[in-house]
Amino acid sequence: MKYRYAVAACARWETPYIVEWLNYYRAIGFGHVFLYCNDDDPAELYERVLPFTQGPQPFVTFRHHPHQGEQPQMYGHFLEHHLHECEWIGFFDIDEFLRLPAGEKIADFAGRFGGTLDCILFNWIFFGPNGHKTPPAGPVLTNYTRRSENLHPFTKYIAKSSIFSRHRIANLAGGDAFWHTPQPMCEAPIKIVNVLGEDMQDYYAGFENDASPFVNQWDRKSRILATAFVHHYAFRSEESFWERSRRGLKGRFAGQTIWREMAESERFPAFLKDVNAVLDMGLAEFWTENLEQTLRNDTGLKLGISITTLNRRDMVLALVEKIRVLTRVEFDLVVCDDGSADGTIPALQAAGVTVIGGTPRGIAWNKNRGLYYLLNVRKCDVIILMDDDIIPVAAGWEAEWMESTWRYGHMNYALPAFQSSLVAGAATAADPGLSSMVPGTAFAVSRVALAQMGYLDLRFGRYGHEHSDFSFRALRAGFGGLKVREGGWDAPYFYVITGGLEVLPAATSGTQEELAANFRLLNELANEPIYRHAWLSDEMRNEFLGEIEEALGPMDTPLRLKNHFASWRDQRNAAGVFPGEPAPTPGGMMNLALRKSATQSSISEWSTGPTPARDAAGAVNGRADGRRKFHTAFEHNPWWQVDLGGFATIHEIHIYNTIEPTADRFTNFILAISIDGDSWAEIARKEDGVVVGGTVDGPFVWNGPGTVWGRFVRITALGQTYLHLDQVEVYGTTA
C-alpha cells in the first residue's frame, strides 16, 4: 500500500480555504489526500493545489467531477479506484478539521486502540460565524474560535480499507451516507468504537432518538471533548447560510435550503447564539504555534553541517569561509578531523570552529563524529555531511537541502559524474532526481530518519561504500528514495539534488583494494538489521564518546545518555522499525509486546491517555522516536507492565528511554516477569546510576543468561521518582 493514512474529500466553492486544510491534515500525520473537485470549472482550485500534486511523492491526487452534488459517485470512484492504495481512510470535508490530542499524530491516536480495531468514529461539533457578516481574510482556524456547547450526533471516521466490501462498492447506487459510518459498505461485522473506546456497533441503528442524548451525556461529552472530535466550520460567516444554497441544489445539495430558511426565520438569532456559545482556542493555538515554527528560519528547522577532512588545511579553511558567507540561516558547524598532520586542527580552532578529532579511524568513524555531535549535543533537525572537496557556490544553498531532507528523511548529492544514472527528476527540492548511484561527497539526513537508521557502519573501515550502505538502509527504513519493479526484482533509486554545491578536484587517499573489499562487504550486509550504532564495543564506545566530550564547548550540553552496553552482539534493530510495523530480530523473533495491553501504577498531568491502560499503551505502539509515550505520577517505585497475551519464551527485552531533557530520571530499575500478573520474579536489577539510552545511544537490552518463560513483563523504577519511557520491546516465541 502507498499510504498508511489517507483522506478522501469532495470540494465545491472551497478554493479560498483549501491550502490551509491540506496543510493541516499533513501536519497531523495524513500521508495523502484524494481530492475531488465538484466546481463547474476546476481551473481555480487546481491552480491553488498544484504544488501539492507535484514531485515523486505528491500529497494530493486531484480529480474533477463536473456533475453537481454527486457526492456518493465521487466517493464511489475513490472506493473503486484508490481504496487499495490506503491502509486507513477517512472522509472529511474541507470545512471539517479533525482535532487530535495535543502533540499526537493520527498514527499515535489510532495506536491507542490496538491492532484489532477496524474503525474510530469522531463526533462533529459546530463552530459559528464568530460575528463575521462576510468571510474574513486569514486562516479558518484562527478566525473561528466559538462553538456550540453540545456535540453533534453525526460522525466522521477513519477506517481500515480492508473492511469495505468489493461487492457493495461495485453496486453503489446513490446511496447511504457511508462517509458518516462505513457500515453500509461492510458485509461482515466490524469492530467500531468512538474516541473513548466504547462499542458503537449499534450507534446509527437508533440514531434519530438516541444518538444526541448518548453523546451529550455530561461525563461522556466532557471526555470526548478532552480527547478528539471534528471541528465543523459549516458557517464561515452569516452570509454562508445563503451561500450554501447558491452553490447549487442538485444531488446531495438538495437539502441545503434548510440553512437559507434558517437565516430568514425568527429562529436565526437563537441559532447563532447556540453555535457561538463557547470560546474554544484549541486549534487556533495549535495553528498559530505551527505557523510560527514554520516561519522560524523559513523552515522551522535547526541546521547542522559537518565537514570531514584529512590533511587538507587550506581547502577546509576555504570551505568553512564559503559556508559562513553563503549560508542564510543560523547553523551549527563542526569539522571532524581524522588525524591530520598539516596543522589543520589549530588553524580551524583559531578560526573559531568546533573540531572533533582523535586517532585515525577512517571515513565511517569520522562522519559518525559529526552525526553524533550535531544530533545529540546540538539537537539539529537536519544534518548535512560534506567532504572537504565540495563547496557551496550559491547564496542560500542550504534551503534546498533542508526542505528536501526534512521531507524525504535522507538526500544525496547529484554528482555530475553520475549524470547517466539519473533516470527522472530535476534534482531540486521540489522535484528530486532519482539515481541508481550515489556518491559519498555530500549527503544529508533528518533527525527522524537518523533515529530509525543509526550511524555509518564501522565495518567498512577506512575507505569506500560506507555511504552506499547508509543510503540502502535509509531506503529500507522508508527514507530517501523508492524501489521500482524491474525485470522481476525491486531496483533501488535514491533521491538526489544538486543543492548549490560543486566538487573540487582533489586526489583521494583511498585505494582500489579497499574499495573492492568494501563493495563485497556492502553485498554481505544487505539483509542485516537497519540500525547501526556509532561503535562496535565497549572500548570503542569509551573512545568515541571521549572524543565528543573533549570537543564540547562551555555552552554545550554534557553527554548524559551513555548506553550501558555496546557489544556487537547487541547491535539490534534499535530503532529501525518503521512506525507501526513489527520488525524481526536476526533470529526470526518478533516483538511480542507490540500493541499488546499495558498498564501502569498511576497517571499524571503529563499523561497522554486518560487511564493507566490508555496511557501505558503508548510504550508498545512501535514508534521509537525518543518521545515520552506514558507518564506516571511522582511516587515511590512507579511501575509499568505489559501483558503479552499468552505464555512466551522470552529471549530479549529492549527498554528505550526518551531523548528528552527529563531522560536522566531513568537510571535504576527492576525488570521482572510473571505468569499471572500477581507473583513476580526479578530477572534484572540495575543500580549503577547510569542513564539508560534510547534511539540515539541504544536501549537497555536484557538477553539472559538463558531465557525466561512468562506472560507479563514489568519495569519498576527505584526510588521516589517519575517513570516515563519511549518504547518497550519483548522478543521471543509464543508457547
Query: What is the three-class DSSP state of 473?
Result: helix
Q: Is the peptide bond between 705 and the residue preceding it cis, with omega within 30 degrees of 0? A: yes
* Whether residue 196 sits in one domain with residue 114: yes
Other Cβ atoms within 10 Å of 571 Cβ, number: 21
Under 8 Å between Cβ of 451 and 75: no
Query: CATH number, domain at 209?
Result: 3.90.550
**Which amino acid does the sequence have at 51?**
P
Residues 6+ positions from 75 with CB-CB distance below 8 Å: 8, 10, 36, 91, 178, 179
558 belongs to a structural domain: no
| Residues pairing with 454 in the sheet | 532
* Whether residue 325 sits in one domain with residue 269: no
Chain-centroid distance of CA 547 in Å reads: 32
Other Cβ atoms within 10 Å of 649 Cβ, number: 14
Residues 6+ positions from 661 with CB-CB distance below 8 Å: none
Q: Output the nine-digit C-alpha cell for 403.
A: 526542505
pLDDT at 248: 60
Length reported for the chain: 735
What does the alpha-carbon distance between residue 617 and residue 725 come to, in Å, rounded to a whole number?
A: 11
In angstroms and rounded to an integer, the radius of gyration of the C-alpha atoms of the chain is: 28
* Whether residue 708 sits in one domain with residue 602: yes
Cα angle 534, 540, 546; round to 5: 90
The 3-state secondary structure of 319-338, one letter per residue: HHHHHHHHCCCCEEEEEEEC
Instruction: Give the residue carrying C-alpha cell 555509518.
Output: 456
The secondary structure element, H or E, covering residue 288 is: helix 282-295
Under 8 Å between Cβ of 91 and 120: no
| Residues pairing with 663 in the sheet | none
Cβ burial of 58 (10 Å; 0-12, 13-18, 19+) is middle
Under 8 Å between Cβ of 497 and 414: yes
Question: Which parts of 185-267 fold into alpha helices (H)?
Answer: 212-215, 218-225, 240-246, 257-263
Q: Output the nine-digit C-alpha cell for 718.
A: 527505584
Residue 263, Ramachandran bin (φ over 0: left; ψ between -120 and 50: alpha; else beta) = alpha
The list of the chain residues with pLDDT below 70 reads: 1, 55-56, 172-176, 240-260, 262-263, 291-300, 462-463, 506-512, 514-515, 518, 555-588, 696-697, 735
What does the alpha-carbon distance between residue 307 and residue 370 come to, in Å, rounded to a whole number?
A: 8
| Residues pairing with 486 in the sheet | 489
Q: Output the nine-digit C-alpha cell for 637.
A: 517505585
pLDDT at 723: 96
Domain boundary among 236, 260, 292: 292
Closest CA to 336 of 315, 356, 316, 312: 356
Residues 6+ positions from 258 with CB-CB distance below 8 Å: none
Question: How do residues 19-62 score in pLDDT, each as one tens digit?
Answer: 899 999 999 999 999 999 988 888 888 888 887 887 667 899 99
Closest CA to 89 of 158, 178, 19: 158
pLDDT at 509: 62
Query: What is the tally of structural domains in the chain?
Result: 3
Instruction: Catalogue the E-assigned strands of 139-195.
Output: 146-147, 152-160, 192-194
* Whether residue 156 sits in one domain with residue 79: yes
Note down the domain range covering 723. Answer: 572-734
Q: What is the pTM of this model?
A: 0.46
Query: CATH number, domain at 490?
Result: 3.90.550.10
What does the alpha-carbon distance between residue 507 and residue 592 come to, in Å, rounded to a whole number?
A: 51
Under 8 Å between Cβ of 349 and 406: no
Question: How do residues 546-561 score in pLDDT, each as one tens digit?
Answer: 999 898 877 666 664 4
Residues 6+ positions from 442 with CB-CB distance below 8 Å: 384, 385, 386, 387, 390, 412, 413, 499, 501
567 belongs to a structural domain: no
* Whether residue 315 sits in one domain with residue 267: no
What does the alpha-carbon distance between residue 331 and residue 333 come to, in Å, rounded to a whole number?
A: 6
The secondary structure element, H or E, covering residue 484 is: strand 481-486
Cα angle 53, 57, 62; round to 5: 25
Tell me the torsion sign for CA atoms 122, 128, 129, 131. Answer: negative
Closest CA to 201 of 177, 181, 228: 181
* Whether residue 167 sits in one domain with residue 73: yes
* Whether residue 536 sits in one domain with residue 588: no
Tell me the torsion sign for CA atoms 194, 200, 204, 208. Answer: negative
pLDDT at 575: 33
In angstroms, what CA-CA distances link 197 with 191, 371, 498?
10, 42, 49
pLDDT at 460: 78
* Whether residue 235 sits in one domain with residue 86: yes
511 belongs to a structural domain: yes
* Whether residue 452 sits in one domain with residue 376: yes
pLDDT at 174: 41
Question: Which parts of 130-180 fold into alpha helices (H)?
Answer: 140-143, 166-170
Domain boundary among 248, 269, 292: 292
Residues 6+ positions from 479 with CB-CB distance below 8 Å: 408, 409, 410, 445, 446, 449, 452, 453
561 belongs to a structural domain: no
147 belongs to a structural domain: yes
* Whether residue 252 sits in one domain with residue 168: yes
562 belongs to a structural domain: no
Other Cβ atoms within 10 Å of 328 Cβ, number: 12
Beta strand 86-91 pairing with 146-147: unpaired
What does the alpha-carbon distance between residue 138 and residue 165 come to, in Å, rounded to a whole number?
A: 41
* Whether residue 313 sits in one domain with residue 286: no
pLDDT at 134: 84
What DSSP letter does each residue of 690-701 carry, written as one string?
PPP--TTT--EE
Under 8 Å between Cβ of 182 and 173: no
What does the alpha-carbon distance between residue 495 and residue 23 come to, in Å, rounded to a whole number?
A: 23
* Whether residue 138 sits in one domain with residue 53: yes
What does the alpha-carbon distance between residue 178 and residue 498 come to, in Å, rounded to a whole number?
A: 47
What does the alpha-carbon distance between residue 395 and residue 17 come to, in Å, rounded to a whole number?
A: 34
Under 8 Å between Cβ of 235 and 241: yes
Under 8 Å between Cβ of 623 and 709: no
560 belongs to a structural domain: no
In angstroms, what CA-CA distances link 730 with 527, 572, 590?
22, 13, 8
Domain boundary among 292, 316, 331: 292
pLDDT at 320: 96
Query: CATH number, domain at 606?
Result: 2.60.120.260
